[in-house]
Amino acid sequence: MGEAPVREDSTVTRSAEYVGSFPVDDNCLDDQIKQLHTQLKSLKAYKTRRPVSLKFSIKGVKMYNEDETILLMAHALRRISLSTARPVDSQFAFVAHNPGCPDTQLYCHVFKARHARAAQFLNLLLCRCFQLSYLEKHPEEAQIDSAGSLPHRKPSLLNHGFPLSVSALVSFRRAPFGGLLPGTKKTPKSSDDQQSSQDEVFPISSPSLMRKKVIRTKVLRSGAYRSFTFTPRKQRTIQDQLSVTQEKDLDKLPARRSRAPSLSETEEALAQAVWCWAGIATESSYSLLADDVLGSYLLCQHPKNPKCGSLIIRFSSGPITHLIENTRKGKFVLEKCKTEFNSMAELIEHYTETEDELPCLLSYARVNHCYEWEENVSKQQPVKLQPKRSRN
């Protein structure tokens, strides 16, 4: 049984506005989701909001004031039951147990993001934390790499191993996306333009060469290379940590994963990781999907046709596998459905807003499968001693 690699104690920080919280009824999961959506709709025009900074990690979520000097709220990840979003109203929310309250009492904490994509990004971050936490606690359910290759670096919050000086090139604020997430407008491009655009986001050359290339072409000013997440001092510190990490010998780690699973800085990579449950074996993901919210889904290879993809959706009757067909025009279409799409992102975005031939909408919500119902599960009940019987 494989051991999970040691993780770096890292976080991803994003800004939002805290709306407030409301109690969640102790109902079944599907009824809770309905209650959440009803309450979120009623709070979409709520004006009283507080600017805050949210810090995400596989240990939990912390909320600070806008200057990150005062801790306002902290929730261990094991005490957060689910995460959801309503991009149409730029809302992000998670349900958690408040410390000091009865174990059966849950609260939904609501946040207002700057725009729809930011709300979805916050939700994707927390959903990915759920998946990474499960993978860390259940290393035996990790995706096995058929090629047996080792990850070349430890899991970190930095995507693709780029140094922080070029993280702005692949950040969601500046990257030329291919329309992977909702809200992205696509423009027709030639094949040469598409190839050059992909090379800019995922360069095959070294980061230093990419940096020089962009400076020569004056695509971005020099200040644009600074990461919006870290200060220059933090950049140097984490760059040094990355350099040391990449030089270490990782031969002692078991070859069980095709890549080191991590939180990702880009919308694109993060969305793909959440949709595909990256790092977790497909069989395990399928089992977890059966206990997830109505409309949750898994994007993976089709079990009977490895050359095609499939979208496994959790309906009220259980998970159902839908073949993703490729048309002659190179578009995607769900099995037994008529609508064609240019990308998988467009397909998923469409079915989160319109049911069409599906029994229900795809859901933004995800369950934390490592949620603990009790405050301290290791706390043992006192043993009742039987009174000694007197001997005659």
Pick the closest to residue 308 from 289, 288, 322, 287 (CA basis).
322
**What pLDDT does residue 128 have?**
95
Domain ranges of the chain: 12-140, 263-367
**What pLDDT does residue 336 have?**
87
Residue-wise DSSP of 142-164: BPPPTT-PPPSS---SSGGG--G
Q: Report the interhelical angle of 116-137 vs 267-276 (nearest 10°).
A: 50
Q: Which two tokens stand for residue 165?
A: 């000086």
Q: Is the separation of the CB atoms in 139 and 101 below 8 Å?
A: no
- Tell me the per-residue pLDDT of 106-125, one tens digit each, with 9 for 90 and over: 999 999 999 999 999 999 99
Residue 22: C-alpha distances to residues 25, 84, 97, 267 (Å)? 10, 15, 12, 29
Average pLDDT in the chain: 74
Q: Which two tokens stand for residue 49?
A: 């909001």
**What pLDDT does residue 52 have?**
97
- Tell me the per-residue pLDDT of 171-187, one tens digit each, with 9 for 90 and over: 333 333 344 444 444 44
Q: Is the separation of the CB atoms in 274 and 289 below 8 Å?
A: no
CA distance 256 to 360: 36
**What pLDDT does residue 265 have?**
60
CATH number of 263-367: 3.30.70.260, 3.40.50.620, 3.30.505.10, 3.40.50.1110? 3.30.505.10
Pick the closest to residue 158 from 146, 148, 171, 147 (CA basis).
171
12-140 placed in CATH 3.40.190.10: no
φ, ψ (nearest 5 deg) of residue 59:
-90, -25
- Residue segments in the chain with a per-residue pLDDT below the cut of 50: 1-9, 146-187, 189-191, 193-207, 218-232, 247, 249-258, 377-392
